[in-house]
Amino acid sequence: MQNNVNATRMELLGLRKRVVLAGRGHHLLSEKRDEISRQLIKIARDIGPLRKMVEAELLETSRRFMLARATMEPEDTKAALEIATKKFSLAIKFTSIMSVKVPQLSKEMDGDIICYGFATTSGEMDVALLALERAFDNLIELAEKEKQAHLLATELQMTRRRVNVLEHVVIPELQETIKFIFSKLAEAERDNTSRLMKIADMIRA
């Protein structure tokens, strides 16, 4: 950079302004990095217990379905689950966390999940379907938080990279160039002063 710079006072003033702007940018990005880190840690703390809860609920649901299948005829199981009367829709809206757009999920369910007669079905089938219905809330919340964590982690990585570039590359290079120009200007000033003194000596002589 120093080889291509004009060692002038205007260039020096411009570089000093750029250092100030880079410093402000570094400060703001550092604050953003720290806040994203805090938000990410908060979400990560929620994800662990929530994932365990979802896994336990789905495991219990699967166990109940297996018990239902064991106590019912295959054709009765198929008939019981063949016609769906429960309607499920997922709504997605976005909110902002430190300028990062993250999703918020909400569900709408209509109808009854138990849509069969009780003559040929097992009570375990009822329990399994109701357990599956209850698991939806935690499952949706888990999906929401994991997506938020992924987006924030991506943004955190980009922000860290920008902070490091400003801190270790941009600002040091600007400061070195300022020193270079200041040195050149000081050298030129000394040469000019020396010439003026020689001229003054010649005039006096």
Closest CA to 39 of 203, 150, 164: 150
Give the model's pLDDT for residue 75.
82
**Residue 35 — pLDDT band, cuts 50, 70, 90?**
very high
Structural domain contains residue 20: yes
- Within-domain flag for 202: no
Does residue 40 lie in a domain region?
A: yes
Find where tokens 């801190």 sit.
Answer: 167
What's the rounded Cα separation, in Å, for the pair 114 and 95? 35
Q: Which pLDDT band, with edges at 50, 70 and 90, does 204 fall under?
A: confident
Alpha-helical segments (H) within 72-170: 74-82, 123-165
17 within some domain? yes
Going by C-alpha positions, the residue among 102, 57, 43, 113 that lies closest to residue 80 is: 113
| Number of structural domains in the chain | 1
Strand partners, 169: none
Q: What is the CATH number of the domain that holds 115?
A: 1.10.287.3240
pLDDT per position as a tens digit, 106-158: 888 777 777 766 666 777 888 888 888 888 889 999 999 999 999 999 999 99
**Between 128 and 25, the higher pLDDT residue:** 25
Q: Has residue 1 been placed in a domain?
A: no
Mean pLDDT across 82-97: 82
Q: What's residue 29's pLDDT?
A: 96
Cβ-count burial 31-69 (b if 16+ within 10 Å, e if not): ebbeebbebbeebeeeeeebeeebeebeebbeebbebbb
Helix (H) or strand (E) run with residue 62 in it? helix 9-71
Q: Are 19 and 171 in contact (CB under 8 A)?
A: yes
Which residue range(s) make up the domain with 183? 8-195
